[in-house]
Amino acid sequence: METANREHREEKSVLELLKERADESYRDFQCRLIPTVDPETILGVRTPDIRKLASQLHKTEQAATFMQQVPHQYYDENNLHACLIEKITPYESCVKALNQFLPFVDNWATCDIMHPRVFRKHPDDLPAQAVRWMKSDHAYTVRFGIGVLLSNYLDEFFDPIMLKWVAGVRSQEYYVNMMAAWYFATALCKQPQTVWPYIKGNQLDDWVRQKAIQKAVESRRISKEEKEILRALRRER
């Protein structure tokens, strides 16, 4: 049965497989969620269906060929590509695939969907790579680098120097600054003693600082007393 399913799948292109899974109502929702993407390039495939297809295609020649065919035409193709990268287990191969793909990422949703499993096994190697990504001229590569630190280095592998790295990012791009704000809002919840000086001081870009304060005030993990301090800080500027 599995062989028959595989043969049937390989008769169709990756794009055809995605179109089979398209949901028009979900497409309308996605168009509102990612306004920077041309609606004509959105098929409306739900993320669980994309991840399931990635699992089916993983390690096939069809997937390997598809991942070389960049830039893709459709947003959903980019998301599938991202989910295929997640499954690459040799660390060096995963980083190489990311470096090949990130320049083609053109929206926050595709950027944020990528959480390679192999990253967890390389806590000593990944920070330097995250710094390289944050130094990129491409907005979503920078966003991805900050997101790597947000997802992997605010708990047991936290190092205060990482706050300085993210604080040093200066950008005119909304989606870069928004990720930096999320980083500091989350860091304030998890590493408050180290992060408070950044929130109270002048190390952060003012927009990032104000947005981080806003997000922290909205968080359930921040105490009532801390929220009052944050509101007072926001009024000072």
* Same domain (yes/no): 171, 237: yes
What confidence category does residue 236 fall into, taking pLDDT thresholds of 50, 70 and 90?
Answer: confident
pLDDT tens column, 71-125: 999 999 999 999 999 999 999 999 999 999 999 999 999 999 999 999 999 999 9
* Same domain (yes/no): 209, 113: no
Residue 3 predicted with pLDDT over 60: no
Backbone angles phi, psi at 34, to 5 degrees: -125, 75
* Same domain (yes/no): 202, 85: no
* Same domain (yes/no): 157, 145: yes
* Same domain (yes/no): 85, 143: no
Domain that holds residue 1: 1-122
* Same domain (yes/no): 28, 138: no
Reference 213, options 193, 194, 197, 227; nearest CA is 227
* Same domain (yes/no): 136, 237: yes
Residue showing tokens 């295609």: 57
Instruction: Name the domain boundary from 76, 96, 122.
Output: 122
| Mean pLDDT, the chain, whole residue set | 94
* Same domain (yes/no): 108, 136: no
* Same domain (yes/no): 139, 173: yes
* Same domain (yes/no): 108, 209: no
